[in-house]
Structure 1
Amino acid sequence: MSNSNTSLKQPRPFYMIFFLEMWERFGYYGLQAVLATFFVKSLGMSDAESFTIFGAFSAMVYGFVAIGGFIGDKVLGTKRTIVLGAITMMLGYILIGMATFDKSLVYISLALVAVGNGLFKANPSSLLSKLYAKDDPRLDGAFTLYYMSVNIGSFISMILVPVLGGKYGLSVGFYVCAAGLFLSLSSFFFFRKLVDGIDSPAGLAPLNIRNLALVLVGEVALIGFSTYMLQNLTVAHWLLLLVGITVFAIFFKEIFKSQEHERSKMIAAVILMVQAVVFFTLYQQMPTSLNFFAIKNVEHSLLGINIPNPEVFQSLNPFWIVLASPIIAYLYSVLGKQGRDLSMPGKFALGMVLCAISFLILPLGANFANSQGIVSVWWLVASYGFQSIGELLISGLGLAMVAKLVPQRMVGFVMGAWFLTTAAAGVIGGWVASLTAAPEGVTDPLQTLPIYSKVFLQIGEVTAVVAVIMILTVPILRRMIEGKPKEDEMNIQQVA
C-alpha cells in the first residue's frame, strides 16, 4: 500500500469498489428520480400522499442498512452480502417495471429494493475502509472520490430514466435501473481478485451454509413485512423507531465498554450523526418538494435547451458533486499538508451553512418570478449548487468519519447506523415536503408559488439556526476527537 499523501492516488482495489458503487447507485437514483411522480401520475395519489409514501420507502431503504452491515461483519461476510443485496435490488427493479402494468406489484417491488439496498449499502464502504490504515492521509480524499462514484451513476440515470420513461413508458426506465445492477454485479465478478483477502472475518472464513439459509429466510420474511409496512405507514414508523433505538442501544453499550479516548471519539460520532439528520431531511426535498417545484414553478429550459421531463433537474445535484469532488479532494490534500485543514466537525458545520443558503435563495428567486408565476431555472441551479457542496462536506465525509472514529470491529455496523440517520430523515423529510403540497385541484403556478416560497424560507431559517449551533460546538467536538484544540476552531468561527 502506497504511503503517498496525494488524495487522488489510491490503491488499485479502490477503483473496483468505485465502479461497483457507481453502477449500483445508477439503478437506485434512476428509480428515485421518477418514483414520486410515478405515484401521482400512474397510481393517482395526491402530492402529499406521494411524499409520505416516498418518505416511508426512503426510511426503509436506509433503515435496513444497519442489518446489512451486521450481516456483512458477522454472518456472511462483506463481499457475499454485497452480491446478495445487488441481486435482490435487481429483481425489485424488474418487478416495478412490470408494476406499471399491474399496480398490485408496486409495494412488493419497492420492498425488494428496500431490503436489497439494506443488504448492499454499508458493505462497499466497509470494504473500502479496510484498504487504509486509520491515519492514512488519503482517507478523506478516498471517501470524497468514492462519493463521486455515487454521483456519476446518479447523474447519468437521473437524465436517462426520466427521458426514456417519458418517451417509451416508465417500465423501460425501470428496466434500465435493473441494467445498472447487472453492470454493478458484472464489474464485481470480473475484478473480484483485486480484493482477495480483503473482507470481514466472517467473509474470510469458509461459507457457512446454515448462516446463508438463515439470512435467506430472514430476507424473505423482511420483504413480506416491508410490503405490509408500505401499505400501513404507522407500523412502518414505529418499526423504524424500534430499529433506531435497538441499533443505538448496541452502539452505546460498545461506547461504555471502550477506553477513554476511544469512547470520546465514538460519542463525537453519535453527535455528528444527529447533526446529519438535519442534512438528510434537506436532501429528502430533492426528489419530493424541489422536484415538484421544478415541475410546477420553474422554467423548463436550460441554456436554451428545452427540458420536456423536468424530473431531469434532479441531475443538477450529481452534476455539482462530480464537478466539485476532485477539487475538494485536492484541497483536503493541500490544506492537510499545510496543517490548515478543517476538522470533521468544522466541515460538517460549514456544510450546514451552505445548505441553509441553498433554501434561503429560493424565496428570493420567487420575488423575481414572471407574471405567470414561473421562476428562472438559474435559481434552482444555484440552490442545487450550494446544497451539493454542503452535501460533500457532510454526507460525503460521513463514511470517512465512521472509518476514523469507530473501532475496526464495528465499522460495518456503525456505517449501518450512519445510514439510519437517513432513514429517520426520510420520515421527517416526507412530512416537510408534504407542507408544500397545494390543495387538491390547485395547479396554477401563481397559487403554488407562495406555498413553495413560504416553506422553503422556513426550512432555510431553521437550517441557519442549526448551522450556528453546530459552529459553536466545533471546539468541543474537536477536543473530544483529538484531545486538543487546533487552529481550525478559529477558522470555522471566522466562517460564521
Structure 2
Amino acid sequence: MKTPSQPRAIYYIVAIQIWEYFSFYGMRALLILYLTHQLGFDDSHAISLFSAYASLVYVTPILGGWIADRLLGNRMAVIAGALLMTLGHVVLGVESDTTWSLYLALAIIICGYGLFKSNISCLLGELYDRDDHRRDGGFSLLYAAGNVGSIVAPVACGLAAQWYGWHVGFALAGIGMFIGLMIFLSGHRHFRDTRGVDKAALQRVTFVLPAWGWLVAMLCVAPLFFTLLLENDWSGYLLALVCVFAAQMVARIMITSPEHRRALWQIVLLMVAGTLFWVLAQQGGSSISLFIDRFVNRHWFNVEVPTALFQSVNAIAVMVAGVVLAWLIRPEGSVRSVLRVWLKFAAGLTLMGAGFMLLALNARQGELHGQASMGMMIAGLALMGFAELFIDPVAMAQITRLNMPGVTGVLTGIYMLATGAVANWLAGVVAQRTTESQISDSAIAAYGHFFSQMGEWTLVCVALIVALVICARLLFTSSTPRMQESRHD
C-alpha cells in the first residue's frame, strides 16, 4: 500500500526548523563559555545570565502566539521571528567592548523566538484537515528535523569559534537562520491556503493608534524591555507574574470542569515532575559545560575537542534512543493506565539520576588523576539524553487525552512554561551551588559533590514515585473486589 505523500509546504517548514535549531543551539553551546572566557564573567554572573536568557525564550511564545492568532497569522509571525533572530545573531557576532550590546542581542533573539517557536508548529497544523492521518507523520518529521539541527550546530559553531574566534561562531549561527529563512520564503506559493495577515484587524483603531502602530511600537520597545531585564537580572519577577496568571487559568479550568478535576490534578503533578526533570537536564548548558571545559581531558588523537561539541551528545542520544524504542516497543492498547505513565516518568528520572551519579564518579576520578574521562562524560550525557524520551512525550500525550475543547492548547502552553521557563530559571538557581561550594572546597571536588547531590535527590524522587504507584495499585486492586461484591448484593 502506498503511503500518501506529505504536503509540499512541509519541506520548507522542515528546512527553516533545521536552521532555527542550528542557530539557537549553536549560540547556546557557546554562550556560557563566551561569558566566562571572553567577557571574564565570574561563574555566578554567567550562570544567572544564561538561565535568565534560557527562561525568557520560553515566556515570549505566549505573546507571540497571541499576535499570530489575532493579527499576523502563523506564516508571517514565523517570518518576523526568523528575521529578529537573524538580527540578534548579527548583533552578537559584531565585536564590541560593552556588555550592553550582548544584552541587546540576547533580547532581540528572545523576541524572535517568541514569534517563531509556537507558530511554526501551528503553521504545520494548518496544512492538514482535522482528520488527516498524515498529521502525526508531519509532526514527527518536524521533531526529527529539529534534532538534526541541534546535533550539527554545536559542532559547526564550536569549531568556528575555536578556529576563528567567538564572534565568527555566533555569526555562523545567524547565517544559518538567514539561510533557513531564504529557503522558507522561496516556497511561498505552497502556503496560499494558510491563514494570512488580518488586514482589517491591523487597521482597527484602538486608543488613538491602529493595531499595526501598536505592533510596531511593541516590536521596538520589547527588545529594550528584555535588555533591561537581563542587565539587571529581573527576569525572575516577570516569570513570577506569568506563573501567577498561569495558575489562575488552571484553577479556573478546574472550577468550570469538575468532571475533569481528577485528571487535571494528575497533569499538574506531571508538570511538577517534568519541571524537576528539566531543572536537572538544563544543567548541561551551564554547570556541566563549565565542568567539561575545565576538568575533562578533551584530547582525542592529539586533537583538542572543543567544549561546545559535547552539546551534541544529548541530541544524538535522543535520536538514536528514539529509533530503538520505536522499534522495540509495541503500541499499547487504547486504554493507558495512569500508573504506567508515572512508571515511565520514574524511568526517565532514574536515567537522569544515573547520569548524574556517573558524572559524580567521573569528577572523583578526575580529582585523583588530575583530569576527568571524556568517555565517561559522554556516557553520562547520553544517559541524560535518553531520559528525555520518558518525560515530555508521555506528559504531552496525557494532556491531549483530556479531550477538552479550548483547554488542551492552554494546558500544553502552561506545561511548556513550567518545563521551559520555570525549569531554566530554577536550573540557574541550582547551578549556583557549584560556585558556593568552591568557597570551601577545590573546584573539581565542588562539582563532584554537586553532581552527587543531584543524582541522590533524583533517585529519592524516583523512590517516592514508585512507592506512590505501588500504594495506588494496591488500593485499586483491593477496592475492585469490594465494588464487585456490592454490585452482586
* TM norm structure 1: 0.82
State the distance in 2 between where 1:129 and 1:345 align.
29
| 8 Å contact from structure 1 (residues 294, 311) kept in 2 | no
1:191-228 deviation digits (Å, cap 9, x = unpaired):
355555455xxx58556324443333223222211111
Show structure 2 runs of 5+ residues with no match: 204-210, 474-479, 481-489
Q: CA deviation at 1:466?
A: 2.3
Q: Does 1:239 align with 2:238?
A: yes
- How big is the shift at 1:341? 10
- The answer to whether residue 457 in structure 2 is matched with residue 457 in structure 1 is no
CA spacing shift, 1:135–1:388, aligned 2, 3 Å: farther
Matched, 1:22 2:18: yes
> Residue 471 and residue 219 in structure 1: after superposition, are their counterparts in 2 closer, same or farther (change >3 A)?
farther
User: Are the equivalent residues in 2 in contact too, given 1:284–1:426 (CA < 8 A)?
Assistant: yes
Distance 1:106 1:279, change over 3 A: same
After TM superposition, the structure 1 = structure 2 runs for residues 275-354 of structure 1, keeping only pairs within 5 Å, are 275-302=273-300, 304=301, 306-331=303-328, 334-336=330-332, 344-354=341-351
Task: Determine the structure 1 residue equivalent to 2:251.
Answer: 252
Q: Which amino acid aligns with 1:231?
A: E
Deviations 1:20-54 (A, max 9, x none): 32211110111111111111122211112101111
- Say yes or no: does 1:108 pair with 2:101: no
Q: Residue 92 of structure 1 contacts residue 112 of structure 1 at CA under 8 Å; is this kept in 2?
A: yes
More off after superposition, 61-70 vs 99-108: 99-108
Contact 1:297/1:374 (8 A) holds in 2? yes
- Residue 420, structure 1, aligned to residue 417, structure 2: yes
Q: Does 1:150 align with 2:149?
A: no
Select between 112-121 and 452-461 the one with higher mean Cα deviation: 112-121
Q: What amino acid maps onto 2:462 in structure 1?
A: A
Find the structure with the greater CA-based Rg. Answer: 2
Which stretch shifts more, 95-104 or 80-89? Answer: 95-104
Checking the alignment, whether the CA contact within 8 Å between 1:91 and 1:112 is kept in structure 2 is yes
Structure 1 residue 355 corresponds to structure 2 residue 352: yes
What aligned pairs does 1:25-104 form with structure 2 within 5 A after superposition? 25-104=21-100
Instruction: Note closer, same or farther for the CA distance 1:415–1:118 as it changes in structure 2 (3 Å cut).
Output: farther
Q: Give distance in 1, aligned partners of 2:169 and 2:389.
A: 28
Counterpart among 187, 190, 197 of residue 191 in structure 1: 187
Deviation at 1:99, TM superposition (A): 4.5
Name the counterpart of 2:201: 208
1:433 — aligned with what? 431
How far apart are 1:187 and its partner, in Å? 3.2
How many angstroms apart in 1 are the aligned matches of 2:148 and 2:292? 22
Q: Per the alignment, do residues 270 and 461 of structure 1 end up closer, same or farther by CA in structure 2, a change over 3 Å counting?
A: same
Deviation at 1:300, TM superposition (A): 0.5
Structure 1 stretch displaced more, 27-36 or 458-467: 458-467
Identify the residue that residue 489 of structure 1 maps to in structure 2.
none
Task: Quote the Cα distance in structure 1 between the aligned partners of 2:280 and 2:75.
Answer: 32
Q: From 354, 377, 380, give the equivalent of 2:377.
A: 380
Equivalent-residue separation in structure 1 for 2:66 and 2:467 (angstroms): 34
Q: Distance in 2 between matches of 1:477 and 1:90?
A: 51
Tell me, in whole angstroms, the C-alpha distance in 2 between the residues paired with 1:346 and 1:11.
37
Task: After TM superposition, give the deviation of residue 370 of structure 1 in Å.
Answer: 7.2
CA distance in 2, matches of 1:305, 1:410: 56
CA drift of 1:59 comes to 1.3
Paired with 2:176 and 2:445, the residues of 1 have a C-alpha distance of 39
Q: 2:439, 2:346 → 1: CA distance? A: 41
- TM superposition shift of 1:141: 6.8
After superposition, the Cα gap between the structure-2 partners of 1:178 and 1:300, relative to the gap in structure 1 and judged at 3 Å, is same
Contact 2:78 2:115 in 1 (8 A): yes
Is the deviation greater in 207-216 or in 269-278? 207-216
CA displacement at 1:265 relative to structure 2: 4.4
Q: Is the Cα contact below 8 Å between 2:76 and 2:197 reproduced in 1?
A: no
Alignment check: 8 A CA contact 1:76 1:207 kept: no
The answer to which of 155-164 and 92-101 deviates more is: 92-101
1:143/1:400 contact within 8 Å kept: no
**Aligned partners of 2:230 and 2:461: how far apart in 1?**
31
Identify if the C-alpha distance between structure 1 residues 129 and 458 changes in structure 2 by more than 3 Å, giving closer, same or farther.
Answer: farther
Cα distance in structure 2, aligned partners of 1:135 and 1:258: 26
Q: 1:161 aligns with which of 153, 157, 161?
A: 157
Secondary structure of the corresponding residue to residue 41 of structure 2? coil
| Cα gap change, 1:268 to 1:144, in 2 (>3 Å) | farther
Question: In structure 2, do the counterparts of structure 1 residues 290 and 320 end up closer, same or farther at CA, with 3 Å as the change threshold?
Answer: same
CA distance in 2, matches of 1:56, 1:168: 28
Given that 1:148 and 1:325 are in contact with CA atoms closer than 8 Å, whether structure 2 keeps it comes out as no
2-structure distance, mates of 1:70, 1:400? 24
Q: Does the 8 Å CA contact 2:70/2:201 hold for their aligned counterparts?
A: no
CA deviation map 1:378-402 (0-9, x unaligned): 1111111111111122235555555
Q: Which residue of 2 aligns with 1:171?
A: 167
Determine the structure 2 residue equivalent to 1:270. Answer: 268
What is the CA deviation profile of residues 167-200 of structure 1, one whole-angstrom value per residue up to 9, with x for unaligned ones? Answer: 111111111111222123223323355555455x
Q: Is the 8 A contact 1:123 1:412 kept in 2?
A: no
The separation in 1 between residues aligned to 2:247 and 2:270, in whole angstroms, is: 14
SS, match of residue 436 in structure 1: helix
Q: What is the CA–CA distance in structure 2 between the aligned matches of 1:131 and 1:266, rounded to whole Å?
A: 30
Aligned pairs, number: 465
What amino acid is aligned across from residue 463 of structure 2 in structure 1? V
CA distance in 1, matches of 2:327, 2:24: 28
Sequence identity percentage: 28
1:61–1:114 Cα contact (<8 Å) kept: yes
Task: Give me the whole-angstrom Cα distance separating, in 1, the residues matched to 2:343 and 2:2.
Answer: 26
Q: Is the 8 A contact 1:22 1:152 kept in 2?
A: yes
307-316 or 204-213, which deviates more? 204-213
Aligned-CA RMSD value: 3.6
User: Which consecutive residues of structure 1, in runs of 5 or more, have no partner in the other structure?
Assistant: 479-484, 486-496
Inter-CA distance 188–414: structure 2 relative to 1 (3 Å threshold): farther
Which of 356-365 and 144-153 deviates more? 144-153
Is the Cα contact below 8 Å between 1:29 and 1:157 reproduced in 2? yes
DSSP 3-state at the match of 2:370 = coil
CA distance in 2, matches of 1:476, 1:212: 57
Return the letter of the residue paired with 1:228: L
- The 8 Å contact of residues 71 and 197 in structure 2, kept in 1 or not, is answered as no
Greater relative contact order (Cα < 8 A, sep 6+): 1
